[in-house]
Amino acid sequence: MDLTYPPEAEAFRKEIRTWLEDNLPDGWFDDGFELRGDERKQFNLDWVKKLQEGGWICASWPKEYGGKGLSVMENVVLNEEFARAGAPMRADFFGDTLVGPTILRWGTEEQKQQFLPQIMKGEIAWCQGFSEPNSGSDLASLKTSAVLDGDEWVINGQKVWTTQAQYADYIFLLARTDPAATKHKGISYLLVPMKQPGRIEVRPITQPDGSSEFNEVFFDNARCPRENVVGGVNNGWEVANTTLGFERGSSATTSYRRFERDARRRA
């Protein structure tokens, strides 16, 4: 197996590395360097602006939707170099890496025009509604339902282990839209607004360290527009597998480099 990169990928690697060296704070690559408190907060604000100016946010997206149109190989190299440098990508993993590319793959042009610019600009935050109390590894056994009522879907049920639900503007979720179909066939992939007081309740799950990154989410006649189905009614299983493919895509292939870097620092 040949694990070397083609010359054009290595040239792109050099471009990214140079950009990182020019834009990260002085001393970033020195042993023991660390940002604290207000300095760290200011870096996070400034860094997102620099990523936007450099075009590195959602860089694998097509140019017509604001990206650079990177190839798969270029996107891997991009993730590798950011990981080597310990430089953060933008924090909205659910929007940038999961639902955005899924909308690009399966969404209507109207959905792309509505949601992709907001994701690109960081104007909309997302969470993922797949797992349920009795539907984890057997996800297709999910019970959350969505019933069409005129021009809206009415959603009832519960999701669990929902990261960042307390901050999200939208949740991309799986719901059963045809209870008579076999369990993999009657599921749809919906984009649901989270700000529905009295209809959507978020309950934090407190971890042993006191943090509450995960949540339970309860839907009581929550609603979303009829057109917010991605990939067609009852095709949610296939669409969801696309999302999971992105979750385990180029960023996952290089995440080990961040662990490797941390391990070296602690050695």
Active site residues: 247
3-state secondary structure the chain: CCCCCCHHHHHHHHHHHHHHHHHCCCCCCCCCCCCCHHHHHHHHHHHHHHHHHHCCCCCCCCHHHCCCCCCHHHHHHHHHHHHHHCCCCCCCHHHHHHHHHHHHHHCCHHHHHHHHHHHHHCCCCEEEECCECCECCCHHHCCCEEEEECCEEEEEEEECCCCCCCCCCEEEEEEECCCCCCCCCCEEEEEEECCCCCCEEEEEECCCCCCCCEEEEEEEEEEEEHHHECCCCCCHHHHHHHHHHHHCCHHHHHHHHHHHHHHHHHC
